[in-house]
Amino acid sequence: MKVLVINCGSSSLKYQLIDMTDESVLCKGLCERIGIEGSKITHKANGGEWSQEVPFPTHTEAFMKVVEMMTTGEGAVVKDKSEISAIGHRVVQGAEFFTKSEIVTDAIIDKIEEIAPLAPVHNMAHVQGLRSAKAVFGEKVPNVVVFDTTFHQTMPAKAYMYGVPYEMYEKYSIRRYGAHGTSHRYVSMAAAEYLNSSDLKMVTCHLGNGSSISAVKAGKCMDTSMGLTPLAGVLMGTRCGDLDPSVVTYMEQKLGIHGQEMADYLNKKCGLLGVSGVSSDMRDVTNAADAGNERAKLATEMLAYQIKKYIGSYAAAMGGLDCVVFTGGIGENDYRMRASVCANMGFLGISVDPEKNCKRTGDIMDISGKGSRVKVLVICTNEELMIARDTKALVEAAK
């Protein structure tokens, strides 16, 4: 079985084609600037890479180009799109309506669209991707949706409820949902397998342009840092993370902006970008800090401090800690951020070996310091494989 894994953004389409016989990636790529002038595709396959500027008015044209790149020329990996058995889609928000991955129906697409206000930056893009995939591949090819939120459905009510009138939950489903669930699920499973134990108390840190921290006990999520939407939690590339709600109302008064305009401000102009004034990319911010930019230095210190606080609070919530996992673009590659987060954490049994921490040695790295009671691991996340596995299982079960 060959599964095409899709992750749609409002103006982008990431894809991987995975052969599930051995879980190998046949090709992968990215369509950028969909609906914007200068759109292009980058396709990687057979050891090569090809880029083309192609007009993509909508996601449908992007899907058509993906099929062309996979089936023709030097980057071809299949003879025809009929070789693709199923399509797996990442969807950020499933709310309480979706507690597991699902085979797509029109009703499911409509529901994903209905709950889009809970993930305004993401869900409408996923809807566009689902409809475009059906248009290009037809009704015979099954589509599967895998939700970021389903892994977090095991949280107890005391963790996911907010201190607002209960009727807000009953009428409007206002609660903590979390995100990055496929990543937290993948790395927590990988850590349990690596440490040969299914009964671990661990904190998984998915750190990238969007970041979230989860408390995972015996393979189940007990708490997570993102909230009703992916805006909550630690400082991110352009997202503010946790705020006193009065900060928002005060800024609305001062800036004269409200509603969606304020939501866009909090999602797109804050975080590392807003604090540093340099960039939303951690690499740029770190370089600026090294060059003496005090605001950039402050941004990096804020992020490390906030992650440290989450690890400590989740250890308290779980009644102990056996393992800390770093993953995501920053978590996997920024050794200085890992060192800063774990510094002065000896009271919790956490220490990092400086030499191991600085070297990239594989998809799973044990960077624990000598005598560290808590294992500190760096695990390369593979959300696409998680989505492909769910897709395969559902399609085979439906036969």
Active site residues: 148
Strand locations in the chain (E): 2-9, 12-19, 24-32, 40-45, 48-53, 86-91, 102-103, 143-147, 201-206, 212-217, 220-224, 323-327, 364-366, 375-379
Distance CA 205, CA 329 (A): 11
Grouping H, G, I as helix, E, B as strand and the rest as coil, residue 229 is coil
**Cα–Cα dist 73/77, whole Å:** 9
Asked if 367 and 357 touch (Cβ cutoff 8 Å), the reply is yes
What's the count of helices (H) and strands (E) in the chain, helices before strands? 15, 14
Q: Which amino acid is at 253?
A: Q
Q: Which of 42, 81, 69, 150 is nearest to 383 (CA)?
A: 150
Compute the radius of gyration of the chain from its Cα atoms. Answer: 21
Helix (H, G, I), strand (E, B) or coil at 46: coil
CB 239 within 8 A of CB 270: yes
- Contact residues for 276 (Cβ-Cβ < 8 A; gap 6+): 285, 288, 293, 295, 296, 298, 299
